[in-house]
Amino acid sequence: MRKILLASTLMFSTLSFAHDAITIDEPFARAVPPGQPNSAAFMTLQNSSDETLRILSASSNVSEVTELHTHTEVDGVMQMRQIDAIEIPAGGTTELKPGGLHVMLIGLTQPLAEGDTVEVTLNFEDGSERLLDVPVQHVMPMNHQHQH
């Protein structure tokens, strides 16, 4: 019986949750003017584990719906599309950025002004989750180009 307890203890002490292997750098959400119904959150995700990790969903305290999205080109036009998961490769990095992968905040329940902070929770495939305090920043629109 003692050997079984020891084996069980060792097995459970070596379990690791996905969120423990993920380092999140430079998270931010896009500031939007009052009345704008949607925004997005971005960040860089680094995976220190030896297996691919997947985010299956997200939630936020400032949106009615929160979805994982990407941009894809359809007939020469960029379109946002909901996706089932965001993968972070083993020992690798996945960047969530304007024009690419992002966490979509749909049906904002409050304005998002520069300097605010919002909560975003990432839900991983293994059932673990990671709560982030995400600063709101002004982000240039994707199609904005500087004139020199």
| This prediction's pTM | 0.82
Query: If pLDDT is split at 50, 70 and 90, which confidence band does 141 have?
Result: low
The overall average pLDDT reported for the chain is 86
Mean pLDDT of 69-92: 91
Tens digit of each residue's pLDDT (9 = 90 or more) over 38-62? 999 999 999 999 999 999 999 999 9
Residue 1 pLDDT class (50, 70, 90 cuts): low
76 pLDDT tier (thresholds 50, 70, 90): confident
Q: Does the pLDDT value for residue 138 go beyond 80?
A: yes
In whole angstroms, give the CA distance from residue 68 to residue 102.
6
If you search the block for the tokens 């999140």, which residue do you land on? 24
Give pLDDT, residue 75: 86
- Domain borders along the chain are 17-137
CATH architecture of 17-137: Sandwich (2.60)
Distance CA 32, CA 118 (A): 13
What is the secondary structure of 115-146 as a DSSP string?
T-EEEEEEEETTS-EEEEEEEEE----TT---
